[in-house]
Amino acid sequence: MPFFDRPVEKPEELFDREKEFESLKRAVDRYAMTIVVGFRRVGKTSLIKAATIDMPRIYVDVRKFEVLQYITYDMFLDELRKSLSNFLSFDKRIAEYLNVVKGLKVFGIEVELSQGRSRPLFTSILESLDRWARDRGVKLVFIIDEAQELIKLKGYSIIQAIAYAYDNLRNITFLFAGSKIGLLYRFLKIHDPSSPLYGRYIERIELKPLTREKAIEFLRKGFEEHRIKVDEVFLETAVQKLGGIIGWLSYLGLKTLNRGETNLRIIDEVVEEASKIVINEFCNFINAMGSKRYIEIVRAVSSEGATWSQIKRYLELRLGVKIYDSELSRLLKNLIDNGYIEKTNELYTIPDPILKYSSKSIKC
C-alpha cells in the first residue's frame, strides 16, 4: 500500500476500512441521508470518494469556508456551479435537465448561474438532478464535504431545501462529511423540533484513527512496497508520536521515501511540521470565535487532561478574572463541537496527538 499526498480515490488504494467501506455503500443505497464523521486527516474524504467511485455523484467541498465568519448563498452557489460543471462530463444529457432550472444555463461543459434575484433555487437544482437520476434509473449521491461550514450560510435556508429533498426526491441520497462533529449536528438540527429535518433518520458512520497495530502495519506495508527497510523502533516511535491518524502517517511515509532512509529525526520533523499546521488551524478557529480564552482552556487540558473545576481554576488564575460557569460551559461546548477536545466521564482531553503535543506552545 503506497503513501498518498491526496485523498485516495480508488477502493483498492484504501488501507483497512473494509467495514466502513461496506457500511457506507450500503447506507447510500438504502438511506436518504448519511453522515461520515471523524477527526481531521483520519481519511473521511478518501473513504467517501472510494466508496462512491462507481456512482453518479456531485461532490461539493466547502472546507474553504472554514476561515470565514459567514457565507452567502451566492458563495455556496458558486461552489455548486463548479461541481455541476464537473458532473456534466458524466453524461451529456444532464444538460437538458439542468437547463430547465430558472437562472441556470449550460454552455458546453460549463454551468452558468444568474446572479441576484434571478439566481436559481437550490431546490430546483435538486429537482432537476432527481429527474435525471429517475429517468436513468440510477441513484445520485450528493456529497457535501465538511458540510458543517454551511452553518454560516446567511439568508437562505439550505436545511429547508435538504429536508424537502429528503422527503420528496427519492433518487438522490445525501452524504455529508464533517470533522467538527458537534457543529455538523448543530447544522443539521435533527434534534430540534422547529427544524425541517427534525426526526428524520440519518445513518452515521464514524471513522476512528487506526489502532496502534493497524497504524504500524500501514507504515510497514507502505515502506515494504517501496523497498525501504524500517526497524521496529522507528515504527513504534512514529505511531506513539503521530497516533493512528492516517494523514500524518502518510505524510511521514512520503517524507521518509523522499529522504531514502528511516531516521528517528524525521519523525520529530513531521511532528514539528504537523504542529505548525494544527496550530494554524486552531488559530483560525480562535479568530472566527473571537476569544483567546480557548487557548488557555486547551493549555489547561494539555497532555494529562483536566476536570471542569481544574480548568476553571487554571483559567481564573491565568486571566485574573472570575469565569462564570455558564461561560465556561459555552467555551467547552464550542471546543468539543469543533473536535478540539473530548469529554470522557469527568475528564476533558485532547484527542489529536499533535494538538496535545503543541498545546503548551500555542500562540495566535
Ligand X SMILES: Nc1ncnc2c1ncn2[C@@H]1O[C@H](COP(=O)(O)OP(=O)(O)OP(=O)(O)O)[C@@H](O)[C@H]1O
For Mg ion, which is the closer residue by CB, 169 or 207?
207
> How far apart, in whole angstroms, are the C-alpha atoms of residue 69 and residue 75?
13
Instruction: Kindly indicate which of the ranges 43-51, 120-128, 326-334, 339-347 contains the residues binding ligand X, using the contact rule CB under 6 A.
Output: 43-51
**Contacting ligand X (CB under 6 A), which of 44, 57, 241, 312?**
44
- Is residue 250 close enough to count as binding ligand X by CB under 6 A? yes
Q: How far is CA 17 from CA 21, 22, 46, in A?
A: 6, 9, 10
Q: Which amino acid is at 64?
A: K
Scanning the structure block, which residue is given the C-alpha cell 460557569? 325
- Is residue 23 close enough to count as binding ligand X by CB under 6 A? no
For ligand X, which is the closer residue by CB, 128 or 250?
250
Q: Give which of Mg ion, ligand X, none residue 250 binds (C-beta under 5 to 8 Å, depending on kind).
A: ligand X
Least Å distance, CB 253 to Mg ion, is 18
Least Å distance, CB 124 to ligand X, is 30
Least Å distance, CB 290 to ligand X, is 24
Least Å distance, CB 246 to Mg ion, is 11
Least Å distance, CB 220 to ligand X, is 13
Long-range contacts of 287-293 (CB under 8 A, 24+ apart): 287/67, 287/364, 288/67, 288/68, 288/69, 289/334, 291/331, 292/364, 293/319, 293/323, 293/331
User: What angle, 0 to 180 degrees and rounded to 10, lies between the N-to-C axes of helices 122-136 and 73-88?
Assistant: 20
Instruction: Kindly indicate which of the ranges 43-51, 80-88, 304-312, 344-352 contains the residues binding Mg ion, using the contact rule CB under 5 A.
Output: 43-51
Least Å distance, CB 5 to ligand X, is 5
For ligand X, which is the closer residue by CB, 4 or 308?
4
- Is residue 5 close enough to count as binding ligand X by CB under 6 A? yes
Instruction: Kindly indicate which of the ranges 38-46, 201-209, 264-272, 306-314 contains the residues binding Mg ion, using the contact rule CB under 5 A.
Output: 38-46
> How far apart, in whole angstroms, are the C-alpha atoms of residue 176 and residue 328?
30
Q: Give which of ligand X, Mg ion, none residue 196 binds (C-beta under 5 to 8 Å, depending on kind).
A: none
> How far apart, in whole angstroms, are the C-alpha atoms of residue 332 and residue 289?
13
| Half-sphere CA count of 211, side-chain side, radius 13 A | 4
- Is residue 11 close enough to count as binding ligand X by CB under 6 A? no
How big is the site for ligand X, counted in residues (CB under 6 A)?
Answer: 21
Task: Compose the 63-92 pattern: x for residues touching ligand X by CB under 6 A, - for all others.
Answer: ------------------------------
**Contacting Mg ion (CB under 5 A), which of 23, 45, 250, 358?**
45
**Contacting ligand X (CB under 6 A), which of 24, 28, 35, 45?**
45
Instruction: Kindly indicate which of the ranges 13-21, 73-81, 279-287, 318-326 contains the residues binding ligand X, using the contact rule CB under 6 A.
Output: 13-21
Parallel, antiparallel, or unpaired: how do β-strands 57-61 and 140-145 relate? parallel
User: What angle, 0 to 180 degrees and rounded to 10, lies between the N-to-C axes of helices 18-30 and 44-51?
Assistant: 60
Count the Cβ atoms, other than its own, within 10 Å of residue 15.
Answer: 22
For Mg ion, which is the closer residue by CB, 98 or 151?
151
For Mg ion, which is the closer residue by CB, 6 or 229?
6
For Mg ion, which is the closer residue by CB, 42 or 252?
42
Least Å distance, CB 350 to ligand X, is 16
Least Å distance, CB 3 to ligand X, is 7
> How far apart, in whole angstroms, are the C-alpha atoms of residue 11 and residue 260?
28
Cα pseudo-dihedral 206, 140, 79, 34, rounded to 10: -20
**Contacting ligand X (CB under 6 A), which of 17, 180, 241, 356?**
17
Measured in degrees and rounded to the nearest 5, phi and psi for residue 42 equal: -90, -15
The answer to whether the CB of 79 falls within 8 A of the CB of 86 is no
Measured in degrees and rounded to the nearest 5, phi and psi for residue 133 equal: -65, -40
205 bridge partner residues: 36
Binding site for ligand X (CB under 6 A): 4-8, 14-17, 38, 40-46, 179, 246-247, 250
